[in-house]
Structure 1
Amino acid sequence: MSKSLLITIFVLLGTLNCTLGQEIKFGKVSDKELTQESYMNDNSASAAILYKKQDTYLISSNGESRLVTEIHERIKIYTKEGFEYATKEINLYKNRSAKEQVKKLKAVTYNLENGKVVETELGKDEVFETDLSYNYNQVKFTMPNVKEGSILEFSYRVNSPFIWNIDEFRFQYDIPVHKMFASIRTPKGFRFRQTPKGYYSVYPKKYTRKDNRIGMDVVVNEYTVTNMPAMKAESYVDNIHNYRSGVMFELVSVELPGFFRSYAQSWKDVAQTIGSSDDYKNELDKTRSFDDELDNLLANETSQVDKMKAIFKYVKSNISWNGLDGKYFFNGLKKTLKEKKGNAADINLLLVAMLRYAGIDANPVIISTKDNLIPFFPTVDRLNYVLAYAKINDKPYFMDGTEEFSDINVLPIKDYNWKGILVDNNRKQWKQINLISPGTSSNMYSLNVDLNEDGSAEGTCKARFDRHSALNFRNGYKSKDMESFLSAKESMLSDIEIDEYNAENAENYEGRVGESFSFFNDYGADEIDGKLYLKPLGFLAMGENPFKVEERVYPVDFGFPFKDVYMVKLNLPEGYKIESCPESKSLKLPDGLGLFRFNITPRENEVDVMVNFEIKSSIIAPSYYPLLKEFFNQVITKESEQLVLSKI
């Protein structure tokens, strides 16, 4: 691990009054801030958080307690690329009975015009609240009158009824942070586990004082951050928020005079809690909504595997996803079947119920999807999704009916996130289990190319994809009209012209996808002094290395292992011979993580090329990053070597 990963940000704090003395008042923007042209510690930054203050504490009134988080943030915009930070999104957690709310929102944009500070306030009609998912609402606004050099300032308060469910304190973003002060006040006797995350550690100052708002002593943890570098998402990352500096809180126990209770949970506790809900305890065995229809569906199926496939196909064909995650019903079985639409739980718990009715050993598995972060400690509320899980002859089968082109044991990529929580109430098994790993996806290309004397090339291409490669192809194929789809493909393949295009099995979710087309390429080779120079792989050659930074502190997530096979037959133009030809070469990543084989065979009138490129693990640890980057560099170098043809 490099020295930069070992940097620890030590916090020099005084008393509470000293910290508050450093507080910046809303609206007091200095000329220095307004005239600043770049961030002092990172000239490449398009924007920076100049100041952020976050206070989290409890209030109690009329016998009701609420968790309050106050935010005050000031952002400097340096370039047009920084305009994206003028949009603020506040995610608010909710469950069936309660929800978080934003209060006292105030936002102003400051610009320096003709030597004077011009203030533009955010209007109330410019703030929008929407349903983001089953468990989250979102308040969103875009700051007005934003220009290069603008300062954006906003403050708001989040009121939460979930008093022991404290959101992560995040200290690192994809733009640098100049100053940040964060504090949390919790009642004395309420012990929280504080779990740091990320690669820059921030240590709090801790002390006890009286809080008159709740009438008892509180434990104060104060964090100060200065000059936190940006952490931007790079190629192939699951969720960058998993790796940014921050701290997470979990209530472990409450110890008051004459009272003690432990809240520390195991994953078994979490599974039992979910399993004891009515959705899992009772609803899954109510079959009256579908028993007759299922009897007809399964009448001709004999094996359990065939029954499972028939049920999976029925649910995918008849129930559409409403776009909402969830581990609990949104509609319930009866309403989902009636409306033919539901959230993730409606669809996948319906799958479980139907599989059970067919006599198949099936249960729910609860997960947190990749866009919902990795759960670092046992938690009910932060799990957001459920899968259907079946076991037949000791073989596991995972299913997610929300994705149109997913298949049994070929889940949407978002589902492959750490582990799952099995809820098997019938056997009284509540535990953490491993999810099935995504299998290797194959991409096979066969090119027959006729090279012309003027450097142009024409020919045919046939390709075949399976598993997740097929899933990705199908999603891309369906999301665009044919003209847009082919235009994007032509651009991706070095601006060739495509004709006679055909896709096979692209509208089904089972089996391989095939495609074929003819092509014409104006620039198949460069003609220089009567010689032709070209890459033997043509438009199949890798263009650029996706890994550009020198150092990476979080894993590379390819989503799934893959194997690319390229077979090219290059027919030489009449009257030309091979003057020089690249050599064959093999490369390997350590510990069997990947390989590259480039085999080229020159013949009298043609050149045959066979390339095998494999990444054998979906996730590669950051310690391998330098080797992975160099591996890709060497692949690109080899595939860029020129075949030279001269006249006979």
Structure 2
Amino acid sequence: MRNLYLIAILIAQMAFAQDFKFGKVSKEELQEEKYLQDPSANAVVLYKKQSTYFSFNASGSALVTEIHERIKIYNKDGFDYATQLIDLYKSRNTKEDISGLKAYTYNLIDGEIEKTSLDKKQIFRTEVNYSYDEVKFSMPNIKEGCVVEYKYKITSPFIWNIDEFVFQYDIPIKKVEASISTPDGLNFKETIKGFISFYGKPGKSYNETRVKEYNLVHVPALKEERFVDNIDNYRAGVVFELKSIIIPGVVHKTYSTSWADVAKTIGNTNDYETQLDKTRSFDDRLDYVLKNTTTLEDKMKAVFNYVKDHIKWNNMDGKYFYQGIKKALQEGKGNAADVNLTLVAMLRYAGIKANPVVISTKDNIIPFFPTIDRLNYVIAYAEINGKSYFLDATSEFSDINILPIKDYNWKGIYIDNNNMVWKSIDISKPPIAEELNMLSGTLSEDGAFEGKIRSRYTNHNALLFRKRFKNEDVDAFVAKKEEKLDNIEISNYEAKNTDTTEGYVMETFDFKHESIASSVGDKLYVNPILFLKQKENPFKLEKREFPIDFGFPFQDKYNITIKLPEGYVAESVPAPIYLKIPDDLGYFKFKVVVNGNMMQLVASLEINRAMIGPDKYLFLKEFFNQIVIKEEEQVVLTKA
């Protein structure tokens, strides 16, 4: 068996013995009609080369990364890969730069290779936020079957921050060659991530430099699926973190080796060490806010609402101040740190034990090792009478212990400078969110249906509802709901408690549906869950290697009462069902009862954990498959 494996490797290496010299594309590449390992792919990376190394000269030092990529586009659905985005990091007056950008599109016309170069006027650099600029270019003369190729060099003054090596895209990659060259004395920790098996091997060293090389072939596409926290967490690649600088006789310095070290390092910065106990920016106004409060819980709530009302989040992350407390209050806006560190300072002023908790949000990444750089956000943590409270004032509709969903990622780094406590802590798990749907109505002999729905949403379901409802015109909101619910006609729509953060949201409306049931002869066929059914299984992959993230645990309940047409009785009804996922992760109940001219459905779906491991994926996939099947079943009515 081992011999067969070695033969397979040799065959793969021989297949990629071709020279991928920039600017030299073969006719065979242009004639290729599909990628044999994944015929469904709309495009494939034929070749990717990345070289990262340090440059030292009289003007200073820099981290240099050279990129060369060649992409085959098979059809129109692959045209998106002719547009590339390159992120360039910056900090204050220091920034990364791009140079040497060259790009070509190749087409095969009448048996000859036509080569079209990218016009420099089609390269655009824009500011994304205060931390990143973006370089964007779209290749010219794109056609089905073409090949695009580009190369560029990024020069970074941030020599301690090596960008992640990315070896997997959402399209396959035929061949990857990557190398990193580091000077002796600079020691980086290497963490391999993703589910592709590969490793680095030493390359040829030179001039007191160590080289590590990575070579991969036939890297499969990373398929996107629903309920993923951040697909980049599972993308094959290598992450680097500076571990130590050891130069004999000059310096011997070790960097963060534990989360306690990370917490202490952040805590020793001015933002955390001194700014949080300066109160002159807000003491007078906060005294007025607190004057009618009695308990610490009341004070916490008053401060929390005050910060949300007076400092709007500018949609920028940050674990350090961007504006500072005084300026953020003056201008009424700031980044995540401006908002939540001000919240910590005000909670302390109110007599509440409060400290920052630094995190990496879901849209950032899971930190794979103790690191400062990969933490991008800060929230507030309060303790009252032994009870813990997590607060994030950046979201208008968040509440105490009801954080924005992006915050529930991994752990938090707790920083209590006053008591010299620096450690990682668990963030409180989101509570179960309920959706209760009460529906009643009358079914006509012609299959039409009229009725009324009353729905109640709690916790994160309420938060999401409030957010959607506020950001849209009511008529447009109702129109989308009509379309989602099988094009019903809605009237007398009302949503209550949508402009606050506490309590549940109640939604009510009347509706009509022209043909909810189908008629065959003297029989009517009606789906008892009507238009509220699960239309398809959200899980489609044969297997899944990363967790399923629902965001929060939830319970959906349905209580539907239908008055049957005069003279009709039930000939058959779906059998009741009770399904469970192993380890008490969730269940589904479904029961239909007909009594005289009244039919009632009682159903509930519950998922008890926000995050479920990939080992339960097949159970979960079959669980939802059975739900779809059951909710498709119909009640058969016949005339008595």
TM range (shorter): over 0.9
Q: Which amino acid aligns with 1:100?
A: E
Change (3 A) 1:254 1:590: same
Q: Does 1:185 align with 2:181?
A: yes
Change (3 A) 1:21 1:101: farther
What residue is the counterpart of 1:137 in the other structure? Answer: 133
Q: Which amino acid aligns with 1:145?
A: N
Rounded Cα–Cα distance in structure 2 between residues aligned with 1:502 and 1:564? 21
Change (3 A) 1:645 1:463: same
Cα deviation code 1:296-333 (max 9, x no counterpart): 11100111111111111111112211111111111111
Cα deviation code 1:53-103 (max 9, x no counterpart): 000001101162211110001111112222222222222233345332222
Task: Answer whether contact 2:12 2:217 (CA < 8 A) is retained.
Answer: no
What residue is the counterpart of 1:297 in the other structure? Answer: 289
| Residue in structure 2 matching 1:148, options 122, 125, 144 | 144
What residue is the counterpart of 1:242 in the other structure? Answer: 233
What residue is the counterpart of 1:197 in the other structure? Answer: 193
Q: Does 1:222 align with 2:213?
A: yes
Rounded Cα–Cα distance in structure 2 between residues aligned with 1:639 and 1:517? 23
Q: CA deviation at 1:337?
A: 0.8
Rounded Cα–Cα distance in structure 2 between residues aligned with 1:378 and 1:593? 31
Q: Which amino acid aligns with 2:197?
A: S
What residue is the counterpart of 1:399 in the other structure? Answer: 391
What residue is the counterpart of 1:43 in the other structure? Answer: 39
Q: Where does the alignment leave 5 or more consecutive residues of structure 1 unmatched?
A: 1-6, 211-215
| Residue in structure 2 matching 1:463, options 441, 450, 455 | 455
What residue is the counterpart of 2:499 in the other structure? Answer: 507
Q: Does 1:475 align with 2:467?
A: yes
Rounded Cα–Cα distance in structure 1 between residues aligned with 2:522 and 2:138? 59
What residue is the counterpart of 2:57 in the other structure? Answer: 61
| 1:381 alignment partner, SS class | coil
What residue is the counterpart of 1:436 in the other structure? Answer: 428
Change (3 A) 1:625 1:300: same
Please identify, of 292-301 and 480-489, the stretch whose mean Cα deviation from structure 2 is larger: 480-489
Q: CA deviation at 1:640?
A: 1.2
What residue is the counterpart of 2:334 in the other structure? Answer: 342
What residue is the counterpart of 1:320 in the other structure? Answer: 312
Please identify, of 455-464 and 259-268, the stretch whose mean Cα deviation from structure 2 is larger: 259-268
Alignment of 1:66-145 (within 5 A): 66-96=62-92, 98-145=94-141
Q: CA deviation at 1:444?
A: 0.4
Rounded Cα–Cα distance in structure 2 between residues aligned with 1:390 and 1:316? 16
Cα deviation code 1:345-385 (max 9, x no counterpart): 11111111111111111111111111111010111112111
Rounded Cα–Cα distance in structure 1 between residues aligned with 2:86 and 2:161? 16
Change (3 A) 1:491 1:123: same
Please identify, of 99-108 and 402-411, the stretch whose mean Cα deviation from structure 2 is larger: 99-108
TM-score normalised over the length of structure 2: 0.95
What residue is the counterpart of 1:520 in the other structure? Answer: 512
Q: Does 1:232 align with 2:235?
A: no
Rounded Cα–Cα distance in structure 1 between residues aligned with 2:252 and 2:280? 46
Task: Answer whether contact 2:340 2:380 (CA < 8 A) is retained.
Answer: yes
Task: Answer whether contact 2:16 2:175 (CA < 8 A) is retained.
Answer: no
| Residue in structure 2 matching 1:486, options 468, 473, 478 | 478
Change (3 A) 1:158 1:279: same
| Residue in structure 1 matching 2:259, options 267, 276, 281 | 267
Q: Where does the alignment leave 5 or more consecutive residues of structure 2 unmatched?
A: none
| 1:608 alignment partner, SS class | strand
Rounded Cα–Cα distance in structure 1 between residues aligned with 2:107 and 2:94? 40
Task: Answer whether contact 1:587 1:595 (CA < 8 A) is retained.
Answer: yes
Q: CA deviation at 1:133?
A: 4.2
Cα deviation code 1:131-181 (max 9, x no counterpart): 434533322223233232222211111111222221221111110001110
Q: CA deviation at 1:20?
A: 12
| 1:402 alignment partner, SS class | coil
| Residue in structure 1 matching 2:303, options 279, 294, 311 | 311
Task: Answer whether contact 1:457 1:524 (CA < 8 A) is retained.
Answer: yes
Rounded Cα–Cα distance in structure 2 between residues aligned with 1:319 and 1:143? 42
Q: CA deviation at 1:234?
A: 0.4
Rounded Cα–Cα distance in structure 1 between residues aligned with 2:613 and 2:186? 37
Change (3 A) 1:63 1:204: same
Rounded Cα–Cα distance in structure 1 between residues aligned with 2:7 and 2:481? 47
Task: Answer whether contact 1:555 1:622 (CA < 8 A) is retained.
Answer: yes
Q: Which amino acid aligns with 1:253?
A: S
Rounded Cα–Cα distance in structure 1 between residues aligned with 2:429 and 2:6? 35
Change (3 A) 1:101 1:61: same
Change (3 A) 1:320 1:264: closer
Change (3 A) 1:476 1:608: same
Q: Does 1:452 align with 2:444?
A: yes
Q: Which amino acid aligns with 1:323?
A: N
Rounded Cα–Cα distance in structure 1 between residues aligned with 2:628 and 2:325? 52
TM-score normalised over the length of structure 1: 0.94
Please identify, of 141-150 and 424-433, the stretch whose mean Cα deviation from structure 2 is larger: 141-150
| 1:410 alignment partner, SS class | coil
Task: Answer whether contact 2:256 2:371 (CA < 8 A) is retained.
Answer: no
Task: Answer whether contact 1:452 1:573 (CA < 8 A) is retained.
Answer: yes
Q: CA deviation at 1:184?
A: 0.6
Q: CA deviation at 1:566?
A: 0.4
Rounded Cα–Cα distance in structure 2 between residues aligned with 1:610 and 1:111? 61
Q: Which amino acid aligns with 2:230?
A: N
Cα deviation code 1:464-511 (max 9, x no counterpart): 101111111112212222232122211211121111111111222222
Q: CA deviation at 1:599?
A: 2.1
What residue is the counterpart of 1:3 in the other structure? Answer: none
Q: Which amino acid aligns with 1:95?
A: S
Q: Which amino acid aligns with 1:121?
A: S
Task: Answer whether contact 2:454 2:509 (CA < 8 A) is retained.
Answer: yes
Q: Which amino acid aligns with 1:120?
A: T
Q: CA deviation at 1:191?
A: 2.9
Q: CA deviation at 1:516?
A: 0.7
Rounded Cα–Cα distance in structure 2 between residues aligned with 1:486 and 1:43? 42
Q: CA deviation at 1:598?
A: 1.0
State the Cα RMSD in Å: 2.3
Q: CA deviation at 1:443?
A: 0.3
Rounded Cα–Cα distance in structure 2 between residues aligned with 1:395 and 1:517? 40
Rounded Cα–Cα distance in structure 1 between residues aligned with 2:60 and 2:145? 45
Rounded Cα–Cα distance in structure 2 between residues aligned with 1:303 and 1:9? 74
Q: CA deviation at 1:22?
A: 5.6
What residue is the counterpart of 1:353 in the other structure? Answer: 345
